[in-house]
Amino acid sequence: MRLLKDSSIDTYGIACKSGSASFPDDFRDWISEDGLARMTLTAIEKAVDESPEFPDRFHGFQSKAILSALCYCYSVGIYDSHEIQFQILNNRVVAYLAAKWRPSGHDLRLFRREYKKVIESGLRWLLLITLLWKEVQSLGMQMSFDDFFSQLELEGVMDWKPFQSLKEDSYQRILEAVAEDTMTMDE
């Protein structure tokens, strides 16, 4: 199985790396802010496709927008819901992902509790896509983002057993968010 059309990068090679990969706390160590935003949007589409029960709206907000902002923030090491709220108001990339919606920290916490599995799926896809981009870069392949995204072939890849290790990192990021919010509320 190939992950990129017309490429020597195969699923087995990436899967082996995903099992031993040490993901950075902040994915911007691997990719630009704008590139990570684009990868987040692609990952969110995959996660939502896997979750037919995922609603279009949550408390009046666009659900995909909240999901995108949370996954992006978790991937860059921002876990506290009030800090994410601040980022939505003050960071152009997070504001763009949130589609200019302005959920409160409380709304973000409620969303995380309700849709933890979809967030985990979004993070898992984001980890995979980021890992694949890193592999493309490490092989010295000259590929633009447009070419990269047009060549992605991800159907059925998450069902392959070696990629299950991506669940661990995505789950740990959600646990970190819960811990951050708990500490904030206890202060």
| DSSP line for the chain | -BSBTT-S-BHHHHHHHHHH----SSGGGTS-HHHHHHHHHHHHHHHHHT-TT--SEETTEEHHHHHHHHHHHHHTT---HHHHHHHHHH-HHHHHHTTT----HHHHHHHHHHTHHHHHHHHHHHHHHHHHHHHHHHTT----HHHHHHHB--TTGGGSGGGGHHHHHHHHHHHHHHHHHHHHHH-
Tokens representing 39?
Answer: 């990868």
Query: What is residue 78's predicted lDDT score, i.e. its pLDDT?
Result: 93
Backbone angles phi and psi of 102, in degrees to 5: -130, 70
Domains of the chain by residue range? 11-186
CB atoms within 10 A of CB 170: 22
Cross-strand pairs, 61: 58
Tokens representing 86?
Answer: 């601040």
Which among 15, 26, 50 has a CA at the least distance from the CA of 121? 50
Residues 6 or more apart in contact with residue 82 via CB below 8 angstroms: 105, 184
Tens of pLDDT along the chain (187 residues)? 445 455 555 544 554 454 445 677 888 988 899 999 999 999 998 888 888 887 676 765 788 999 999 999 999 999 999 999 999 999 999 999 999 788 888 989 988 888 888 988 899 889 888 888 887 777 777 778 777 777 766 665 555 554 556 666 676 777 788 888 776 654 4
Query: What is residue 57's predicted lDDT score, i.e. its pLDDT?
Result: 66
185 contacts 106 by C-beta, under 8 angstroms: no
Structure pTM?
0.79
CA 139 – CA 141 distance, rounded (Å):
5
Query: What is residue 12's predicted lDDT score, i.e. its pLDDT?
Result: 42
